[in-house]
Amino acid sequence: TPQTAATPEPGDDHRDDATPPVWARRPGLRVDWHRATMAHLESVYPFHADEGFGERGPYLGVNVTGGMGGFWFDPFELYGSGLLTNPNCLVIGEVGSGKSALVKAFLGRSLAVYGHRRFIAILDPKGEYQPFAQAHGLPVIRLHPGGTDRLNPMEPRPGEDAANVVARQGLAAGLVTGVLGRSLDATEAALLGWAVATLARTGRPFTLTDVTATVADPADELVSLSRRSPLELAQAATPVVFALDKLCTRTLAGMFDGDTTVDIDWDDGAGFVIDLSAVYNDREALPLVMLAATSWLSAVLQRASDRRVIQVIDEAWAAVRHGARHFQGSLKLARTYGVSTWLICHRPADLTAQADDGTADAKIAAGLLSDIQTRIVFRQPADQVPIAAELLGLTERETRWIGQLVKGRALWRLQHRGAVVHNVLTATELAQFDTDTAMIA
């Protein structure tokens, strides 16, 4: 911009009252002149002079704090280069901040870049991934009471090992605990664990219905072990039997109460979507359904393959309510089976608020945050900013950022490094990912 008056040298306080120089006309704080090289500035402001994370993976947008350069991301590529030591991701942001659009863009572009080398599994509680599934040829498994699609959460992982039994015992205990609203006592836990172990020893597939029947009719060896009469043991098992019956005949009826009826193309398919929108508004049933669905996913995805798996769990708070232990175990197995799990929720506190403070489950839920090295933080409400900063270990500058981010812009924390990235969408993606149609049509 042309100037009518020359800018004075540092320390020159001369001012023409008739024609003040340009620098003096603008309101603001006067600071001392400072001269430095980029090497100096990079050491003083490391957050604003980021060199980027490389160019391997799908292009996602621009690195706002890295000179507006391009931003590429793939957890498996960064794991291979040593920038990450686990591939799991946490995506948080208030409604309308752009987190779903980012996840869908990443999934679609991953399929475009890597093709057959990627496999996608999406747990969709709200039914919002159907347009994405249609656009990318992903079959949709629709689970609802009385439906034809059914998944058996008691299916073992491929291979024979003791962890198969332990995982299914933990799932059964988590489901029953969720129904009863309390922890199992020693006798109840022993009955349930014994029933699952007994059925597993047969070598045949079994379902939650089979578990119910086995608990209701304990074998003589268990009666002898418990040092109780058959009537006393049956009375002790009554709460567990009623809880399992409720799961099989009401809460999970038609969804998880029988053998699996869907056929997944593991070799050549791009992936699948599990639609749970039929129970989304049932706050009692949703966490139980989410636990059963994620357990089934965990079992079937833990298989030897040269394909890398991206597992998306939307509304992750519901899956953690009764399944924090399950999630902790599955996240730790991510590297073994090449699975990147993406947990999506509104606030980081959603994951830690699902259990009473001080309990083991509460500590496990809080530990999930430390087990996830990639945190993608979209705009947070003002009252949640301090909580997010504490739970995620944000710096003072990063804390200020997350309260004022515009739509589509997020703070990315990859282990000990950070960047503010603005997601860039194509016109086709904008139309496909729009979740506000009902409000603006």
* pLDDT tens digits for range 370-405: 778 899 999 999 999 998 998 888 888 899 999 999
**Residues of 316-338 as b/e, b for ≥16 C-beta within 10 angstroms?**
bbbbbbbbbbbbebbbeebeebb
The answer to whether the CB of 270 falls within 8 A of the CB of 119 is yes
Count Cβ atoms below 10 Å from residue 10 Cβ, excluding itself. Answer: 9
- Alpha carbon distance 241, 217 (integer Å): 10
Count Cβ atoms below 10 Å from residue 192 Cβ, excluding itself. Answer: 25
- Alpha carbon distance 307, 365 (integer Å): 29
Q: What is the CA radius of gyration of the chain?
A: 27
Distance of CA 25 to the CA centre of its chain: 51
- Alpha carbon distance 261, 428 (integer Å): 34
Report helix, strand or coil for 138: coil
Residue 421 phi, psi (nearest 5): -125, 135
Between 336 and 105, the more confident residue is 105
pLDDT tens, position by position, 316-326: 888 887 777 77
Is 279 a residue whose pLDDT tops 80? yes
Nearest one of 119, 136, 126, 101 to 274, comparing CA atoms: 126
Confidence of residue 23 (pLDDT cuts 50, 70, 90): low
Confidence of residue 423 (pLDDT cuts 50, 70, 90): very high
Sign (positive or negative) of CA dihedral 149, 154, 155, 157: positive
pLDDT tens, position by position, 314-359: 988 888 877 777 777 777 777 788 999 999 999 887 776 655 555 5
Counting residues of the chain whose pLDDT is more than 90, the rounded percentage is 39
- Alpha carbon distance 213, 277 (integer Å): 30
Q: Compute the average pLDDT of residues 101-107.
A: 96
- Partnered with residue 423 across adjacent β-strands are 61
Confidence of residue 311 (pLDDT cuts 50, 70, 90): very high
Tokens 């980027």, residue located: 52
Tokens 């990912």, residue located: 433
The answer to whether the CB of 225 falls within 8 A of the CB of 191 is no
Nearest one of 86, 49, 149, 35 to 368, comparing CA atoms: 86
Task: Show Cβ contacts of residue 399 under 8 Å, excluding neighbours closer than 6 positions.
Answer: 385, 386, 388, 389
What string of DSSP letters covers 239-299?
HHHHHHHHIIIIITTTTTSS-------TTT--EEEEE-GGGTT-TTHHHHHHHHHHHHHHH
Tokens 């109840």, residue located: 188
pLDDT tens, position by position, 33-77: 777 776 666 666 555 555 678 888 999 999 998 888 899 999 999
Beta strand 417-423 pairing with 409-414: antiparallel
Dihedral of the alpha carbons of 162, 163, 168, 171, in degrees to the nearest 10: 150
- Alpha carbon distance 212, 257 (integer Å): 11
Q: Which tokens in the block code for residue 147?
A: 């439906």
